[in-house]
Structure formats: structure tokens, C-alpha cells
Amino acid sequence: MSVYERTDIYDLLEDENKYSAVKKHWATILEGKQIHSLLDVSIGTGNMTLPLAELDVKLYGSDLSKEMLEKCAIKAKNRALEIDLRKSDFRELNLNFKETFDCVASTGNSLPHVTNEEITAVLEQMDAHIRKGGYLYYDMRNWDKILREKNRFYLYNPVFKNDIRINLTQVWDYNPDSSMTFHLLYTFEKENVIIQKEQFDELYFPVRQEILIHRLKQLGYKNIQILCHPAYFADADLDRVDWYCVIAQKPSC
């Protein structure tokens, strides 16, 4: 089963501190840019996008998963934020969006759910919905580092809800066909005894940074900025960061 069908589990590690950090990240990205409308083509439950609505940006979101979109709508409503949500595969954006935006984004390491060839086509679809002089944005894991280090085990800091401790462990398989499977194991402990386990498998297609940057240049993008994610860690060594983002400007003519 995919964790994107279990939004109760997906959002367990989210809290107000993370929300504030995402807001600060976007404030850094937006500085000096005319971005007042933004479509996130992999919005999920909105963790990486909703704070934008508090930064004078009209928000649009799409996703393949209806469960994720439903949760996103609830979270937006709870914060009294306005958002236009549509179910859409990001490989078929043209079917669901006719308008153009100041920025089209894909957040949360979502593009590598499809193959490298498909991602480059998705960049073209995103481009088709960006106004002249607007911006294309994506963030993702540092796949170059992942492929270099080939680590398999990731332990996240536990979170505590009432008297339950929630642990997330990820085990990553490097498949023979060069895809990767992330195995997500959530354990729920009460008084040092595991009382619940939830396991999910997600398939990824690692994509090297250069492939996407090359395609952006072919599409004519200028001012291509590759930044640490979150972007307010300005001095980070980009080879070593776990997560990065790219914001690039479409030519004005």
C-alpha cells in the first residue's frame, strides 16, 4: 500500500515548527520575485505549499491522490486559507489546467515518482503553464548524494502524541533496474511496547541534478538557482545537503 492513501499516517510527523520553517523557506525564495500565483503539481496534503497562502500568493494545487487532496482541503480550511485544488497526473497537466501562473512548482521530492524521461516531459508541461518571465520551481532529495553513498537505513526522530511514541524507520532498496524502493515502517509504542505497526512501499526513479538542469537550459530558462532546501541555509555545501531546490526564470519574450 502507498502512504499517499493513508493521510492520517503521512502527516504524523508534521507540526507547527515545520510549518513555520516552510514559510521561512518560501519567504527566502520569493524575495525580489513577482510571484503572486502558484500551482503546485504534487501538492499532497499541502505541507510544503500551504504557508504560501500567507505570503500573498494565490494558491493552486493538483495531485494524483484524491486522499491527499481531500486532506489538503481540510488543512487549508482549518487555517482559513483559500486554495483551488484539482486531481491531476502531473504528466497530463494540460487536461486539467488552461491558465498560466507566476510560478509552477513540484514540491516534496515528487517528480522522481516517474522515470527520468517522463520528468523531462513534465518540465515541458509545467513550462506551458508559466507566464512569460515567470518561474519554475522544484525541490527534491539530493539523488546524486544518495547514489554516491548508497545508504540504506534512515531513522527519524520520534514524535510523541499523548502517551504514544511514534518512530519512523526507512529502509531503501537499490533495485537492479536502477529504480529504488523506499520501505517506510511506522511503529507506535506505549510504555516501551509496540502496539501498532504500519508499513508502506514507495517506488522512486533517482534523477541526477544535471539531467533536469540541462532540460531547463534547453527550454530557455535563465537565472537558474540551485539552493539548499530550506533555502535560508544559504552557505550549505550543495554536494552534501540531503535536499535541494531549484528556481529558474522563464524568458520574458
Residues that bind ligand SAM (CB under 6 A): 4, 42-45, 47-48, 63-65, 68, 89-91, 107-110, 113-114
Q: Is there a contact between 102 and 35 (Cβ–Cβ < 8 Å)?
A: yes
Bridge partners, residue 103, by sequence? 38, 135
Angular region, 136: left φ>0, alpha ψ -120 to 50, beta rest: beta
Based on CB atoms, which residue is closest to ligand SAM, 68 or 76? Answer: 68
| Nearest one of 126, 123, 155 to 13, comparing CA atoms | 155
**Shortest distance (Å) from residue 190 CB to ligand SAM:** 27
Q: Dmax over Cα atoms in the chain, in whole Å?
A: 63
**Shortest distance (Å) from residue 196 CB to ligand SAM:** 22
How many Cβ atoms from other residues are within 10 Å of residue 244's Cβ? 22
Based on CB atoms, which residue is closest to ligand SAM, 143 or 192? Answer: 143
Based on CB atoms, which residue is closest to ligand SAM, 91 or 131? Answer: 91
**Shortest distance (Å) from residue 163 CB to ligand SAM:** 27
Based on CB atoms, which residue is closest to ligand SAM, 44 or 230? Answer: 44
**Shortest distance (Å) from residue 193 CB to ligand SAM:** 30
Distance CA(31)–CA(49), nearest Å, equals 16
Based on CB atoms, which residue is closest to ligand SAM, 239 or 242? Answer: 242
Based on CB atoms, which residue is closest to ligand SAM, 37 or 45? Answer: 45
Task: Calculate the CA 128 to chain-centre distance.
Answer: 20
| Nearest one of 42, 50, 38 to 14, comparing CA atoms | 50
**Shortest distance (Å) from residue 176 CB to ligand SAM:** 22
**Shortest distance (Å) from residue 158 CB to ligand SAM:** 20
Q: Is there a contact between 25 and 59 (Cβ–Cβ < 8 Å)?
A: no
